[in-house]
Amino acid sequence: MATISAWLKIDEERVVPALREAGEKLNGDGGEVLLDFSCVSRIVPSAVKAMENFARLADDRAVKVVLRDVNVDVYKVLKLVKLTPRFSFVSRDPRSPD
């Protein structure tokens, strides 16, 4: 099983700094980063840019990026800017307490 190197909850107001910080934490030994988007209802252009950079960085470090609970509006934005193939998407099981 892949090791989870980071598990971050992203705050809608702080997408850019949160991704920057997460990027800094990425080490070179593979693994997986899970970003929880459940609190992000919308993203702005700078956040898109930050995600693009983060994806590039993760690629370089061979880290898999998993986005959790991305809403469909944000998902569509990522789709339109062709970013969806760069991430994996998971949704929380609605029955699970977390």
Residue 8 phi/psi, 5° resolution? Answer: -120, 135
> Which lies closer to another protein via its Cβ, residue 63 or residue 74?
74
Question: d(Cα 51, Cα 78) in Å, to the nearest integer?
Answer: 9
Taking the CB of residue 12, how many other CB atoms lie within 10 A of it? 15
> Which lies closer to another protein via its Cβ, residue 27 or residue 46?
46
Write down the least CB distance from residue 52 to another protein, Å: 9
Taking the CB of residue 38, how many other CB atoms lie within 10 A of it? 13
Q: Which residues contact another protein by CB under 8 A?
A: 42-46, 48-49, 73-74, 76-78, 80-81
Write down the least CB distance from residue 93 to another protein, Å: 26
